[in-house]
Amino acid sequence: MVSPRIAVMGAGALGCYFGGRLAQSGAKVTLIGRQSHVDAIRRDGLILESGGTKTAIPLDATTEVSGVRDAGLVLVCVKSADTESAAKAIAPHLAKDAILVSLQNSIGNVERIRAHVTRPVAAGLVYTGANMPGPGHVRHTGGGGIVIGGLPAWGVDDSVLAAIKSIFEPAKVPIDLSPSIEIALWTKLMQNCAYNAVCALTEKPYGQMAAMPEVRHVMAQAGNEVVALAHRKGVMLDPGAVEAALQRVTTMMTTMSSTAQDLMKGKPTEIDYLNGLIARESQALRLSAPINATLAALVKLKEQKRAQ
């Protein structure tokens, strides 16, 4: 099978990582991102650092949303706050046979994209650590897999998921298909709420956080609040998933959350779509979520400090 052209809308750390891997496998990839990254990639290629080695990968890069034109696969990697504006911008340029995959944090992004595009949109859950030490330079810090799934309401069926998987497989990106994508999305949200904000506030990597019993307890409480909200909404998250998530990060001694990376760079975080979302939705349903509300408030306070 000949791989279709691939566009990455929002080429930050994860977008560049997966775009780079796909380009290494021979796929024709266009990264759509910020001017500084685009300039560096056009000059030197995308620098992909992984496993102690650096590789310069030649690929296309642009700041223009029209870069999605003629792409058979579009990876949407923008921040959740930018989902609707990005979907509106790319909609007129999408190929008639394009498939989109939302590789974003939180829940509800697929629905926000589908409000503006008619093409199938699958949800992808990323279990990969990456950061960008400089323009056009992505560093892989752990993991590497994706879980994808979809619903008929999103225009997704088994053939769409099989097509996505066939594109990633030559790049040796582990990809699993989820038969219960809503549960998978809520599980990932629970994980993000358990450790993203704590990492951002303490500036300590996941493994160090999970190794301290007092901090681990706070993380567990945050996760349990997500489980309670999910159950109230009819999504039967396994309560044991919280402990499994905390156990998973004990070995991730160098990984820092995307929220922490945003704060360090003085950029807006996605906290309103993570712990903040849990706090708001819980309050609306008369549930108590004090840990998530506190973590969200403290991250927003730290955002203000960085902006000064």
DSSP 199: H
The model's pTM is: 0.92
Question: In this predicted structure, what is the pLDDT of residue 249?
Answer: 81
Question: In this predicted structure, what is the pLDDT of residue 306?
Answer: 62
In which residue are the tokens 């926000």 written?
112
Q: How far is CA 214 from the centre of its chain?
A: 28
pLDDT string in tens for the chain (308-residue length) = 457 899 999 999 999 999 999 999 999 999 999 999 999 999 999 999 998 899 999 999 999 999 999 999 999 999 999 999 999 999 999 999 999 999 999 999 999 999 999 999 999 999 888 889 999 999 998 788 899 999 999 999 999 999 999 999 999 899 999 999 999 999 999 999 999 999 999 999 988 999 999 999 999 999 999 999 999 999 999 889 999 988 888 777 678 898 998 999 888 999 999 999 999 999 999 999 999 999 999 999 999 876 55
Print burial letters for 7-27: b (CB count within 10 Å at least 16), e (below 16).
bbbbbbbbbbbbbbbbbbbeb
Give the domains, in start order, of the chain with CATH numbers: 6-179 (3.40.50.720), 182-307 (1.10.1040.10)
